[in-house]
Amino acid sequence: MSIEEAVTEIAGVMKKAGLVWLAWDGRRPVPAWFATVEGQYVVLADSADGAEQPLPGLAAAPTVEVVVPAKPATNRLASWKATVRRLQPGTDEWTAAAQVLRTERLNAAELDTQLERWRNEADILVLDPTGEISETAGRYDATPRAEAPVPTRATTRGKPPMTLHRPVRRRPKLS
């Protein structure tokens, strides 16, 4: 498959995606929202501990695996490799990408300062397809992907709380 054919196939599956899963440098995949800007796929990666999506180290990664989930999200639609390129803040390409990302950003805080915050605290990254498609419909990798949960301080609750106003079940009268 030529790179042009691969890019066309990738464009077809990316139209169906609302978010993707990204894996780089041997890390476990993480979800990321993205936008398509003039045929390029861009993501916003928080470079500090800010309010945007945390993708630590993605800007420095040479390549990333992009997994496109199917609907329902329990299946994969495709998986492809991309190189990562950081857009320089203040350039026309950065501004165009930021404007599109701004319209795609759900539940954004402080809209009036959003672009300035992105300029200072986040990276806008372009995911350029390499032409390598590792999974597509009918051609899936059979490797099991079950992983242990991420360690956390969260615990399960004790016994369930008492419920007030339970409906009373009455026995039918025997006549």
* Residue of higher predicted confidence among 92 and 154: 92
The parent domain of residue 42 ranges over 3-135
Residue 46 located in a structural domain: yes
Question: How many structural domains comprise the chain?
Answer: 1
Residue 174 located in a structural domain: no
Residue 144 located in a structural domain: no
- Nearest of 120, 82, 124 to residue 99 by alpha carbon: 124
Report angle CA 95, 101, 103 to the nearest 5 degrees.
110
pTM, entire model: 0.76
DSSP states along 81-150 = EEEEEEPPTTSHHHHHHHHHHHHH-SS-S-GGGHHHHHHHHEEEEEEEEEEEEEEBTTB--------PPP
Residue 140 located in a structural domain: no
pLDDT at 36: 92
pLDDT at 175: 65
Cβ within 8 Å of residue 45, ≥6 positions away = 32, 52, 53, 54, 55, 58, 59, 122, 123, 124, 125
Residue 77 located in a structural domain: yes
User: CA 73, CA 66: separation in Å to the nearest integer?
Assistant: 14
CATH assignment at residue 54: 2.30.110.10
Q: What is the mean pLDDT of residues 97-112?
A: 80
Range in 55-69, 71-85, 117-131 with the lowest mean pLDDT: 71-85
- Nearest of 127, 108, 126, 128 to residue 118 by alpha carbon: 108
Residue 95 located in a structural domain: yes
Residue 56 located in a structural domain: yes
Residue 20 located in a structural domain: yes
